Amino acid sequence: MMLDKQAIYQLLQQKGYWYEITEHAAVFDMASLADLNLPYPDQDAKNLFVRDDKHRHYYLLTVKGEKRVDLKAFARAQGLRRLSFASAADLQRLLGVQPGAVTPLGLLNEPGGTVDYYLDVELTEPPAFLGVHPNDNTATVWLKSQDLLAWLTDHGVQCQVVTMPS
């Protein structure tokens, strides 16, 4: 079952996590997100969905919105094969979201164990919360980094907090 925006909101309420929701026009990239009047622009997250060169392993990387990630250095630091961006078809199949709506909450749509999750350590430092889409690019959900990691880990996702090379 694919979780839509309302299902994500209900799960957040059930979990008892602190969160805030900002509804907005659909955004498809970080540039258009910058045009919005978000309450916490410094905590907005960018998500990169990548795969290895054999199409066997998939990874979701979350960093602060303005950060550029050096995928070669990241792969080397994590002992991974060469990485490149996964296809829109892989994104839909594994996370149940479209390009422009990539989010760690999409990991709740997969059974766990298929996609490894890496969160940049910068998003765990005070104020230690981030803004991500609720599987839909017409809203941003602000939640604590530790709550997100606990939620994903409980779902069976391998989560790591790392320093993302830029």
Q: Rounded mean pLDDT of the chain?
A: 94
Average pLDDT over residues 40-48: 93
- On the question of pLDDT at 34 being above 80, the answer is no
Nearest to 158 by CA among 101, 103, 111, 88: 111
Determine the topology of domain 5-32+42-162 in CATH. YbaK protein (3.90.960)
pLDDT at 149: 98
Distance of CA 52 to the CA centre of its chain: 18
Please check whether residue 149 is in contact with residue 114, taking contact to mean a CB–CB distance below 8 angstroms.
no
pLDDT at 154: 94
**Strands of the sheet with 159-162, listed across from one edge:** 83-85, 45-52, 58-64, 115-120, 159-162
pLDDT at 25: 87
Compute and round to an integer the Cα radius of gyration of the chain: 15
Distance, in Å, from the CA atom of 157 to the CA atom of 30, rounded to the nearest integer, reads 25
pLDDT in tens, 88-141: 999 999 999 999 899 999 999 987 678 999 999 999 999 999 999 999 999 999
Higher pLDDT, 110 or 143: 143
Please check whether residue 127 is in contact with residue 11, taking contact to mean a CB–CB distance below 8 angstroms.
no
pLDDT in tens, 2-24: 899 999 999 999 999 999 999 99
Average pLDDT over residues 57-84: 96
Higher pLDDT, 62 or 28: 62
